[in-house]
Amino acid sequence: MAFDVIASSYREREKEHTPLGHAVIAGISFGATGIFAALVGILYLFHERWIVAWVPEGAADPSGLTLGQSLLLVFAMWAGVQVARKTGEERLGAACLLGAGAGLVAGAVLCVLPIIMSLVKLRFMFIALTQHLYDMLTSGLGLGLGVVVLLVAGALAGAFGALLYRLSPRARRPIIYALVWMASIGVFQELIQLLAQQEVLDPIREWFFTWDGLRPQGAIAIGLVAAAVIAVWDTTRARLEETFVALPQGQQRLLHGSGVALLLILVLILFPLVAGNFIGQVMLFIGLFILMGMGLNLEIGLAGLLDLGFVAFYAVGAYTCALLTADSPYAIGQRVDWFPMFNWWWAMGMAVLMAVFVGVLFGIPVLKIRGDYLAVATLGLGEIVRVLVLSDFAAPVLAGAQGVLNIPPPYLFTGAAVDDPIELYYIALGAAAVAAYFAYRLENSRLGRAWTAIRDDEDVAQALGINLVNVKLLAYGLGAAFAGLAGAIFATMLTSIYPHSFQLIISVNVLALIIVGGMGSLPGVVVGALALIGLPELLREFGEYRFFFYGVAIVAVMRLRPAGLWPSAARRREMQLEEETRAAVEAQLAAETESGAASSPEGPAR
Amino acid sequence: MAVLDVQNLHVFYGQIHALHGVSLSVDKDEIVTLIGANGAGKTTTLGAISGVLPVAEGEVSLDGQPLGKIMPHDLVKMGIVQVPEGRRIFGRLTVEENLGMGAFVRKDKDGIVESRERVLEMFPVLKERMGQVAGTLSGGEQQMLAMARGLMSRPRVLLLDEPSMGLAPMLVEQVFGAVQQVRDQGVPVLLVEQNAFMALQIADRGYVMETGEISLQGSNRELLENEDVKRAYLG
């Protein structure tokens, strides 16, 4: 609340600026943001990705619009939006003029960078300030013309932003959707073209895309379609919602359920079929994280046991599978005469059992630890497993840093090996479906209720006759089972495993995906895994910056949808409750200050 | 024979000797109150009875059967149920789900339904709020829910820790009325309270604790009229 108070007092103070002052401030802030992006290097990285591109006759390089240029345009546009919002200018023309002013200032601020670059060499300090960046900022036209282009483009974008802000939502939404879709399809063109790699589709694909980006005609077509779809949707939505609400509860649920199921089938089952190996690999990874997410969801979402050592169970599953099946001198079957070599399916079962066993062992020392302390304690336990595997002490058995190699693929009863990522993905998906069913049943069982009770209040749970020891160890053991299963699939996916595959970051990722998806919600786990594991994989070419996007995405979700992308019913209820309580408290405070102000003469004078 | 009988209870917090041989008993059909200043050892006594705190010496028996060393969650099955202080209900579950949690140790579905009927008769306020999220109940209603939840396991004796804590005087009266109801329904109550005057009004007997010992005991009338009690607690 303190933050809101400060923010609102800040807003109060801002009202004192003249409209022009607002334009200058907005322009300077967004121009500075642009300079920052350039200094950090992200701007040029974005500049290498085309959104709209075509190769003019006789030219070697494509021309068009890049992501980096679009980013600058968006900054200028946003400056326009800010001015329109802050000044509250009602007249369209005046608002646009102010927006253009703000955009102009933003462009002018940006101009400072190429001017300085042409005068002084700053590369020894800012390695991102390359000749390429200079060319980008000046549009390859030299300093004089380049500056003019920056200023004009900035002013136009700013005016456009202000115009958008002043338009009615009905007119604005189609435009915004058209732009967003053009940009997303342009950015992900490589992926889409890869997917559309079929001979029948070739002419269509070539009409839309060049090898670098969207053709202008493609971009316009996509924009028009997106705008039309959203416009139609906006006009029919109210009516559709009315009909939906008018349906009886059962049918509503059925319709909703079948819609969700259809979406899941499309994305999870059919999509990988047509997607090719790269996407298959990504989907397999997502599948593994869905499995782990479901396991950790039992521990954290249902039982409230914060666990940062979850990766340990994943490692146990992977190592169990490896040591039972691998064609390696470390495999138990090769070291001990009487011990059989397992096939992958049996090894998977053993991996799950071992994970459960380790999960229970893991739970014992932390039984009496609660809350934040539990997070730290499990963090330590998780690291112990990795360090143990790396140690010289365990090296003769667990292969140390060299890892266990030659892990065979699963064989079907037909004798065919399942070694292609997409086939393995379907195994992971099947396992996830079984796991989801178990998790769903557990949630509504007696054990699930006991978990809910200990999550909410351990002491009371005990006072109601719930055996804390059993219930907690079951949470760790069952949660670990899912991770063990994921580990077994992971081992055969890579065909070799090393201790460094099991870093803390995996635990953190799993935790983040269930928080983003929605604590305690099964569909939330799927959505969270798609968002947090899938997206960074697709953004791989942005290198280290993808973690930046990852961070931004997490913060944005927590700020905009604090209950998660797909919250469970209980969590939604809880958030609502908090909201109501806060509203009540605020209303009370407001009433008190009001009566206080009325009774004390100095009150209103301030 | 007393339902709950506590003999010569000693409890240590590390080196600190917190209870020096506390003895008390609760009979059928009575409310027994344990009063005393802050830090006198009232809550410690309850914790020792319900098995949350380790007992160094002494014995707790239920219906004449010594309990010996027993895990706290097993006590519920045997019939000793504690309602912790501070109205700790499950705030995000509904009233109905809270009551369901109270019957966690029971497996007889019909019996649970019957218990619920009885509990709701005792606390009619809750009946109207069955579907409501418990966190939105008023303080008094939450305390009633906590008691009702405790009763759902059909206890032989109910241990109540500071039910009046943080409640407006009018609500305290309501809650204490409910405690009498519980007794009238045949469940004896051990009531731990700081609000000595109110507690003695509804109790049949009482114990006064001071620095880990029972310093005084007697019927409610005797204690209400005792000069020391009056001076120390009733003002």
Three-state SS sequence of A389-455: HHCCCCHHHHCHHHCECCCCCCECCCCCECCCHHHHHHHHHHHHHHHHHHHHHHHCCHHHHHHHHHH
d(CA B47, CA B66) in angstroms, rounded, equals 17
Q: How long is chain A?
A: 606
Of A446, A460, A468, the CB nearest to B88: A460
Q: State the smallest CA–CA distance between residue B77 and chain A in angstroms.
A: 7
Rg (CA), chain A: 29
Backbone angles phi, psi at B6, to 5 degrees: -115, 125
Q: State mean pLDDT over B61-67.
A: 89
Locate the domains of chain B by residue range. 4-87+149-234
Interface test mutation site (partner B, options A368, A452, A464, A575, max chain B beta carbons within 10 A) = A464
Cβ of B104 within 8 Å of Cβ of A580? The answer is no
CA angle A551, A567, A273 (to 5 degrees): 75
Q: Which residue has the tokens 């739970």?
A: A363
pLDDT at B47 over 80: yes
Q: Is the CB of A456 less than 8 angstroms away from the CB of B92?
A: yes
Which two three-digit tokens encode residue A318? Answer: 């992977």
Chain B contacts of A446, Cβ < 8 Å? Answer: 104
Of B99, B72, B90, B82, nearest to B192 (Cα)?
Answer: B82
User: To 5 degrees, how large is the angle CA A137–CA A139–CA A143?
Assistant: 70
Best of B90, B95, B98, B151 to mutate (most A CBs within 10 Å, chain A): B90
pLDDT confidence of residue A592: 66
Q: Which residue of B has its CA nearest to A446?
A: B104
Which residues of A touch chain B, with CB atoms under 8 Å apart?
Answer: 446, 449-450, 452-453, 456-457, 459-460, 462-468, 570, 573-574, 577, 580-581
Residues A39 and A133: their CA atoms lie apart, in Å, by: 10
Exposed/middle/buried for A9, CB within 10 Å: 0-12, 13-18, 19+?
A: exposed
The pLDDT of residue A4: 55
Would you give the DSSP letter of residue B164?
T
Q: Which burial class, exposed, middle or buried, applies to A431 when counting CB atoms under 10 A from its CB (0-12, 13-18, 19+)?
A: buried
Q: From B30, B21, B27, select the one nearest B4 (Cα to Cα).
A: B27
pLDDT of A603 reads 39
Q: Which of A460, A471, A574 to mutate to test the interface with B (most CBs of B within 10 A)?
A: A460
Å from B156 to nearest chain A CA? 14
> B209 CA to chain A: closest CA distance, Å?
24
Residue B92 and residue A450: Cβ atoms within 8 Å?
A: no
Please tell me the distance in Å from A371's CA to the nearest CA on chain B.
Answer: 17
Give residue A216's pLDDT: 87
Measured distance between the N- and C-terminal CA atoms of chain B, rounded to whole angstroms:
35
Nearest Cβ partner for A462 among B73, B90, B149: B73
**B153 lies within 8 A of chain A by CB:** yes
Beta bridge partners of B157: B80
pLDDT of residue A210: 82
List of E strands, A258-417: none
Within 8 A of B91 by CB-CB distance, chain A residues are 456, 574, 577
CA A197 to each of CA A201, A335, A350: distance values in angstroms, whole numbers, following the listed order: 7, 48, 41
At A602 the pLDDT is: 43
Supply the angle between the helices A504-517 and A311-325 in degrees, to the nearest 10.
120
Nearest chain A residue to B155 by CA distance is A464
A-B contacts at Cβ under 8 angstroms: 70
Min Cα distance A518 → chain B (Å) is 16
* Whole-angstrom distance, CA of residue B72 vs CA of residue B81: 10
Q: Is the CB of B109 inside 8 Å of chain A's CB atoms?
A: no
Check CB contact under 8 Å for A574 and B149.
Answer: no
Residues from chain B that touch A453, judged by Cβ atoms under 8 A, are 90, 101, 104
Mean pLDDT by 10 residues, chain A (606 residues): 54 68 91 91 86 80 86 93 87 90 94 90 83 87 90 94 89 89 85 76 84 86 90 84 79 77 79 78 90 93 91 95 91 86 92 96 89 89 89 86 88 84 88 88 89 90 90 94 95 91 91 89 88 80 74 84 79 71 73 58 41
The second-level CATH assignment, the architecture, of B4-87+149-234 is: 3-Layer(aba) Sandwich (3.40)
Beta bridge partners of B34: B192, B207
CA–CA gap between residue A83 and residue A98 (Å, rounded): 7
Inform me whether the C-beta atom of residue B226 falls under 8 Å from chain A C-beta atoms: no
Judged by CB atoms closer than 8 Å, whether chains meet at B104 and A581 is answered as no
| Residue of A451, A462, A467, A585 to mutate when probing chain B, most B C-beta within 10 A | A462
Digit-coded pLDDT (tens) for B132-182: 888 888 888 999 999 999 999 999 999 999 998 888 888 888 889 989 989
Q: Which amino acid is at A423?
A: E
Name the minimum distance, in Å, from the CA of A333 to any CA of chain B: 44
Question: Among residues 122-141 of chain B, which lie with CB inside 8 Å of chain A?
Answer: 133, 135-136
Flag whether residue B73 sits within 8 Å of chain A, measured between CB atoms.
yes
Mean local confidence (pLDDT), B69-88: 86
CA B110, B113, B117, B119 torsion-angle sign: positive
Please list every residue in chain B whose beta carbon sits closer than 8 Å to the beta carbon of residue A456.
Answer: 90-93
Beta partners for residue B10, in sequence order: B20, B57
Q: Is residue B35 within 8 Å of B196, Cβ to Cβ?
A: yes
- Distances in Å between the alpha carbon of A389 and those of A500, A515, B183? 10, 29, 61
**What integer best gives the mean pLDDT of chain B?**
89
B70 interface with A at CB cutoff 8 Å: no
- Chain A nearest-CA distance from B103, in A, is 8
Is beta strand B4-13 parallel, antiparallel or unpaired with respect to B57-62? Answer: antiparallel
